[in-house]
Each structure stands twice: as structure tokens, then as C-alpha cells.
Amino acid sequence: MDRRKKIYLGTNTKMYKTTAQTVAFLKRLNQLTKDISRDRMELFVIPSYPSLAAARESVPRQSVSLGAQNMAWEEEGQFTGEISPLMLQEAGVDLVMVGHSERRHVFRETNEEENKKVLCALKAGLSPLLCVGETAGEKGFGIAEEVIRTQLKIGLYGVMPCEARKIRIAYEPVWAIGVNGEPASKEYADQIHTVIRRTLTELFGAEAGGDVPVLYGGSVNPQNAEELIWMPGIDGLFIGRSAWDADNFNAVIRKVLPVFEEKRAGEGAE
């Protein structure tokens, strides 16, 4: 299974960093991590739209994949203010985030809209990184699993098993994200990751569904990164604040990579 071979680590810089700051960040991150084979790690950065082209020029594609934070669900048309997947492709983008918590909750995007974006991204050859996660209220009512399953089943509706290898999932509980967020416990995160894996295999079958990487995000920091990545259901980490300084991100990478590899070696021995 390809998913097990490497760790997935990425950051979303949200509405922070100018183009100059993004380029400086990428160059430093690439420099700091160049000794780590990309067969062991998929490293991605998701900066602001205007910085994408310069970001792509600044580091090799094989070293750092680039993502966009959002996308329209059509390739072109009368959609003032929107960005087409073709424009992202032209800028050298590899993946596109769909349904980040801030898109769903600040900008009121729906599961149906996320689905249209996932299908449109796949058509354009981009990898959708579909973000899912329950609010504190939904968790309180005991419906987190139902919410996640609904987000996945609608968000991925119509995706073929042969396209599933392009998909990545990020589990980001809304209550865990950002300055007021409280990180999920490793046990809770792993429990939801198990539900996500089960849903993916229901949708795509054991082989294709078993191969989709599922990342955890939401207040990942240097203190909790190792215990999270040690959990069997967690294939990678999607980090905000703790990764926005390249040296800090590199420090987290150096902590989690050996833990991840020890976990996978142990699974192989079972």
C-alpha cells in the first residue's frame, strides 16, 4: 500500500505571508529539509493565491508540492472573483484544499459545493485535499461520526475508485483549529481517523480506499506532534501556526519522521 510508505506533512498559511515572505519561507524550508528523501515524506505548502507562481519558481516541485487554499467548481465562466483549476494548473499547483473549516464556517460553503470542487479539481488533474471536521456543538450532541461520514459521502460523491489515489483527506475538528483551538487528544483523533478509513473503504473498496492518506490538523504543535503521528490511523499532519516559521516546521518534521517510521516498521512486523 503506497500510503504506508511515506509520511504526509503540510502547512496552510491561511491569509498570512506576502509573496516575498512565502518565497523566503519556502527557500528556507527546502534548504533545511533537503537531506530528507522525498520517498520518505510528501511535503506540501498551501500559500495565498497571489504568491503561487513565485512560490513555484522558488523551490523544485519534487521537493515541495504546492497547493491552493480554494478553487471554483467550474473551469471558466461568469464567476467574478473566483479562481479556476486551469489557472492553478498553469501556476504549477499540485493540490487544492477543498472545504477548509474556515471556508465552511466563515464563508458558509456546503457539502454539495465541496463535492463540485472535488470533481472539478480531479478533472483538471489536481489532487483535492478534502477537509472534514465537526463543530464543538456537533461533538457535544454526539454526532461527530455522522457529520464526518456525511461530509465524506457528499464531498466524494461521484469520485471513481481509480481516481481515489489523487485524494487526500484532512481531519480538522473545528474546535481544535486556530488560536482558540484545543488540540484533539490522540485517542479521539485516532477514533475519528478509523471512522474516516472505514468510510473511504465503503466508498472506494478496500484497496483504493485503504490507500487514501488521512492527515490530522488542528493545533498540532511541537509537544503533541509525536504522540499524534504514533497513532495507527494517522498518516500525516496538517499544520497551521506551528509550521509558519520554516525552522519550527523543520523541527516538527525531525521529531515526527522517526516516530512515523518506527510505527510503520512495527506494523510490518505484525
Looking only at residues 4 through 23 of this chain, which bind ligand 13P when binding is defined by CB under 6 A?
12
Q: Which of 42, 138, 172, 193 is catalytic?
A: 172
Q: What are the C-alpha distances in Å from 247 to residues 7, 15, 24, 165, 256?
A: 19, 20, 12, 31, 14
DSSP SS3 for 265: helix
- 100 catalytically annotated: yes
Q: Which of 100, 114, 138, 145 is catalytic?
A: 100
Is 69 one of the binding residues for ligand 13P (CB under 6 A)?
A: no
Rounded Cα–Cα distance for residues 79 and 144 (Å): 34
Looking only at residues 24 through 63 of this chain, which bind ligand 13P when binding is defined by CB under 6 A?
none
For ligand 13P, the binding residue among 181, 209, 213, 236 (CB under 6 A) is 181
**Nearer to ligand 13P by C-beta: 45 or 239?**
239
Rounded Cα–Cα distance for residues 17 and 26 (Å): 11
- 105 catalytically annotated: no
For ligand 13P, the binding residue among 152, 196, 239, 257 (CB under 6 A) is 239
| Helices then strands, each counted (H, E), the chain | 10, 8
Closest CB 206 distance from ligand 13P, rounded Å: 29
For ligand 13P, the binding residue among 220, 225, 229, 253 (CB under 6 A) is 220
Runs of H (alpha helix) within the chain = 19-33, 52-58, 85-90, 101-105, 111-123, 136-140, 144-155, 186-210, 225-229, 246-269
Interface residue list for ligand 13P (CB under 6 A): 12, 100, 172, 177-178, 181, 217-220, 238-242
